[in-house]
């Protein structure tokens, strides 16, 4: 699932993740929207039509998404990175080590637990 698509609110994204969690799927991949050079999306981004998430916004969104996923669901991916030579935005996503470290620190600080707000979550 791509997080940060134009026109989707935070609530829309979390609700879609909840839907996938309740669908019976065994796993999910969460992926940040990347704007790459040479695409229609890049043109729209340059024209100011496509906002991108900051690292802080993305981490908070991931926390909300993890909370609504069943604890038994496999999470195959929490982030990804576009080809650095073509990456236009968000540039922070090109530093995978920084992203993974920030994710680990914030999740530990906030006590993130997969399934904490899922109707099928274990007590």
**Residue whose tokens read 């609700």:** 15
Residue 67 lies in a domain: yes
Which tokens is 118 given?
Answer: 């899922």
Count of structural domains within the chain: 1
Which tokens is 85 given?
Answer: 């030579």
In terms of pTM, does the model score above 0.95?
A: no
Residue 57 lies in a domain: yes
Q: What share of the chain is helix, strand, coil (3-state, %, to 5)?
A: 45, 15, 45
SS3 28: strand
Range of the domain at 105: 2-110
pLDDT > 50? residue 98: yes
Residue 120 lies in a domain: no
Residue 115 lies in a domain: no
Query: Rounded to an integer, what distance in angstroms lies between the CA atom of residue 52 and that of residue 35?
Result: 8
With bands split at pLDDT 50, 70 and 90, how would you rate the model's confidence at 123?
very low
């Amino acid at each position: 699932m791509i997080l940060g698509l134009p026109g989707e609110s935070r609530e829309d994204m979390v609700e879609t993740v909840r839907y996938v969690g309740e669908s019976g799927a065994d796993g999910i991949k969460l992926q940040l929207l990347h704007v790459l050079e040479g695409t229609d999306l890049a043109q729209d981004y340059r024209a100011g039509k496509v906002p991108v998430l900051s690292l802080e916004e993305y981490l908070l969104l991931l926390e909300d998404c993890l909370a609504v996923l069943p604890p038994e669901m496999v999470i195959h991916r929490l982030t990804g990175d576009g080809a650095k030579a073509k990456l236009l935005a968000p540039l922070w996503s090109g530093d995978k080590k920084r992203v993974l470290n920030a994710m680990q620190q914030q999740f530990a600080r906030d006590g993130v637990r997969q399934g904490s707000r899922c109707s099928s979550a274990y007590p």
